[in-house]
Amino acid sequence: MDNKMVNGSWILLESLYRLGIDTVFGYPGGSVIPIYDEIYKYKKIKHYFSRHEQGAAHEADGFARATGKIGVCIATSGPGATNLVTGIMTAHMDSVPLLAVTGQVGRSSLGKDSFQESDIVGITLPITKSNYLITDIRDLPRIIKEANYIATTGRPGPVLIDIPKDIQISEIPFNEFEKLFSEEINLPGYDPTYHGHPRQIKKAIDLIKTAKKPLIIAGAGILKAGASKSIIEFAEKTNIPVTTTLLGLGVFPSNHELSLGMLGMHGTVAANHATEEADLIIAAGIRFDDRITGNPDKFCKNASIIHIDIDPAEIGKNKKCDIPIVGDLKNVLFEFNRRLDKMDHSDWVNTVKGWKKEYPMVYGSSNEGRLLPQEVLSELNKVLAGNAIVATDVGQHQMWTAQYISFNNPNSILTSGGSGTMGYGLPAAIGAQIGRPDKKVVAIVGDGGFQMTFQELMLIKQYNLPVKVVIINNSFLGMVRQWQEIFHEKRYSFVDLSVNPDFNKIAEGYGINSITIDTKEKLENDLRPAIEGDEAVIINCIVEKEVNVLPMIPAGASVSEMVGKRGVI
C-alpha cells in the first residue's frame, strides 16, 4: 500500500480513527461532498446524520460530556459552518472537548465572496482554544493530531479545522501520510501546568489546618480532571461541607451528608449561607462566574480563598484569592489527601445541617389543582433514583432540575452553563445516548427551548434511541417571564407561548410514542412506566403557568438579599 495515493478526505477520517475517534455527527453540503463520499466508503467511523448543524454540535458536546471523550461534528462551508457557532460557543463556555470540521471553498476562491464562503476561522477565533485553515494537504495529519491534543488537554475546549474542498480531493502517497502522522506533536507555546507549586500547596494545607468554618466549592474542573473520588476523599477526611456549581453537580453525591447542593442565584439557602459564614473557601475547578457570586465584592467576604484551577487565566479574573494553585485538580487533591490527617469540624457541619433542615427545597400547591413543575421533577427524581444521565435545556426547568433531581455520579447532568443555550437539551441527550447506550438518558426541556431543535427527534427514530423527553410545558418562556414579573411589574413582553404546537402530534409525526400528564393521578400512574420502558417517549407535562424558581438572589446582589428562602416571595 506504500505507493497508493490517499486523498485529504481519507486522511481526515483515518487520522481521527487512529486517534481513537469512531463517532461523528454531521450534516452534508457542497463543500464537504468529498468528505462524505469518503465516509460512504470508510467503515471504521460511525456517522450520525443530524438534522441541523447546531444539533450536530450539541450532539457532539453531549457525547463528549457523557463519555469523557472528544466530540466531533462536521458541517459544510458558509451557513453550515456558521450554524455550528452556537454549539461551539456552548462547548467553549463549559470547557468541553469538541472538534469541529468545516468544509471551505477551494483555495483559489478564498477571499472572493464565493458561493457559501465565510471566514469561519475568524468568526470562531474568540470561542475556540485554537483553529486552523488548511492550506497544504501535508499539514493535515499534523493539524488533526494537534487539534485533538489541544482540545483534550489542559482546560478542554473546542478546536476548529477548516478544510478547503480542493484539499479534500488532493492526494499524497500513503507512505508519506504514514511519515507525517507519526511525527511527534511539537507545540512549544502550549504547555499546561499539571502539578501545583509545592510552596502554594503547603500554604493551602497550613490554612486548611487552622480554619474553623471551611467550605469546598466544587466545579466542573473536577469532572475534567476525573477527580470526583479525590474530592469525596478530601471532604470526608477533613469533614468539610461541599457545595457545587451548576456544572459541578454530580462531582459530589447529592445524598452525601456533607452535601449542601448547588449554590448561587437559585442555589440552596444552606449553600449560600455557608458562603457568607465560612472563614475559608476551597474553590476547586470553578471560575467564580456571576451566577455564583452575584456581587463579587460581597461574595465570601469573611473568608480566605484557595483557588485551584488548571487555567491560570481564571485565577483572580473574577474574584481575588489568597492562595492561587495552578494545576490539575486530581494531582493537587492527591497532595492534600496525602499530607492532611483526619480533621473534625463537627460544630460547623452541624450549623450547616441546621440550615438544610430549616430551609429545605419546598413548594406549595396550585390553587386550581394544576401540576406544579417542582412536583413533576420530584416525582421524576423518585423514578430515576440517581441512575440516569439527565440533559436539560435552559430556563426555569433547568434550575428546578438542579434543585430537585439528585446527581450522585460524575457526568450525570448535561446542561449549558456559561452560554445558557436554549435548544441544547434534546440534541445533547441524543449525543449522550449514542455515547452511553448502557445508560438511561432523559432530556428535560421547556416548551420554548424544545421548539428550537426538535428536528433532532428524527435521530431518535432513525437510530432507535431510547431517549426519554420530558417537556415542562407552562406555555411561557418561563425564566424571562419570571424576571418580567419580579423586576418589570409583570410586563409580559413576548413570552406567552399559549399558541404552542400540539407536541403529541409532533411526536406522532416523528414516529415516537408520547403521553400527556396534566393531573397528579396521571403523574403518579403514568410517569414511571414511561421512563422505565425500553422505547423513546415524549412526556408532555402540562404545569401551572406562573410559578417562580425560588430561592433567588437577584443579579448583582448578595446572599443577604436572597428572596424566597421558604419557597415564596
Order of strands, sheet of 46-49, starting from the edge strand that comes earlier in the sequence: 46-49, 23-26, 71-75, 98-104, 158-164, 130-133
Cell triple for residue 99? Answer: 472538534
The amino acid occupying position 347 is: D
CA angle 554, 555, 560 (to 5 degrees): 50
Is residue 59 flagged as an active site residue? Answer: no
Give the Cα separation of 9 and 17 in Å (integer): 13
DSSP secondary structure code for residue 416 in this structure: -
CB-based contact 537:510 (threshold 8 Å): no
CB-based contact 452:51 (threshold 8 Å): no
Alpha helices in 392-446 (DSSP H): 396-404, 425-435
Is residue 353 flagged as an active site residue? Answer: no
Of 190, 399, 207, 193, which Cα lies nearest the Cα of 310?
Answer: 193
Is residue 485 flagged as an active site residue? Answer: no
Task: Identify the active-site residue in 14, 38, 53, 117.
Answer: 53
Give the Cα separation of 527 and 91 in Å (integer): 32
Task: Identify the active-site residue in 116, 174, 178, 520.
Answer: 116
> What phi-psi label fits residue 395: left (phi over 0), alpha (psi between -120 and 50 degrees) or beta?
left
Cell triple for residue 297? Answer: 465584592
Task: Identify the active-site residue in 115, 183, 229, 462.
Answer: 115
Is residue 375 flagged as an active site residue? Answer: no
Cell triple for residue 191? Answer: 504547555
CA angle 148, 45, 185 (to 5 degrees): 20
CA angle 129, 132, 135 (to 5 degrees): 170
Is residue 104 flagged as an active site residue? Answer: no
Task: Identify the active-site residue in 129, 145, 165, 224.
Answer: 165
Catalytic positions are: 53, 115-116, 165, 479
